[in-house]
Amino acid sequence: SKTSEGRVEIMVRGKVEFTNDGDAVKSVDKRLMLEEFRDGQVQRITFTPGVNGALEKRYTLNGKDALMDQKAQQWLQGHMPLLIKTVLGGDAYVQRLMARGGVDAALSAIETGKPSHLQPELVDALARLGPLSDENQKRLLVAINAIGNDYDKSQTLRSVAAYQQLGSARKIQWLQTAAKLVNDY
């Protein structure tokens, strides 16, 4: 993923499991790597299987081994939603959020928009899970309106139209969002 701020790369080899009660890597059978280049620095963490199945972590800063201090831990936690979503995919990620906090948790993840390129896939996954209440449809449509590009907006609007039964007020909201599209999507 590239942004004006830098780039993030994730490499997944083999099977990865996350803890059920938190957003942490539980195990890998081959390798999982997260690397970010930002502000002239390169941070990387690599997870590999260790002796007796224990998880080994190697953190580097600018190519040199470094301690996982509080700042490094915060960096990793900030990227866990992207890491989990990349490994699990949008559907399983939304189901994970739903199991933890219901529709509200899934909508909150969509509304925060971090990382923003996850929003369309999460909106699609949530829309396909089944009917949402009118209030939750409203929140979902507000989140779609905040998506930064017309292509993703149009795709998510299509998902909502295909999988949600919208009442009159939500149909108007849907149409108002669609009317703001400036491209031919």
Chain segment 136-168, per-residue pLDDT in tens: 999 999 999 888 889 999 999 999 999 999 999
Contact 62, 92 (CB under 8 A): no
Higher pLDDT, 48 or 100: 48
Predicted local distance difference test score (pLDDT) of residue 114: 61
- Over 80: is that where the pLDDT of 25 sits? yes
Contact 45, 58 (CB under 8 A): yes
Percentage with pLDDT > 70 across the chain: 94
Q: What is the mean pLDDT of the chain?
A: 89
Residues in the chain: 185
Q: Which residue has the tokens 């996350």?
A: 18
Percentage with pLDDT > 90 across the chain: 58
Name the E strands within 50-113.
55-61, 64-65
Predicted local distance difference test score (pLDDT) of residue 115: 58
Provide the token pair at 99: 């199991």
Provide the token pair at 74: 């915060």
Predicted local distance difference test score (pLDDT) of residue 185: 61
Higher pLDDT, 167 or 81: 167
- Over 80: is that where the pLDDT of 116 sits? no
- Over 80: is that where the pLDDT of 22 sits? no
Q: How far is CA 66 from CA 8, 74, 77, 141, 181, in A?
A: 19, 15, 17, 43, 46
- Over 80: is that where the pLDDT of 1 sits? no
Query: Global pTM?
Result: 0.76
Among 18-32, 66-80, 153-167, the minimum mean pLDDT is found in 18-32
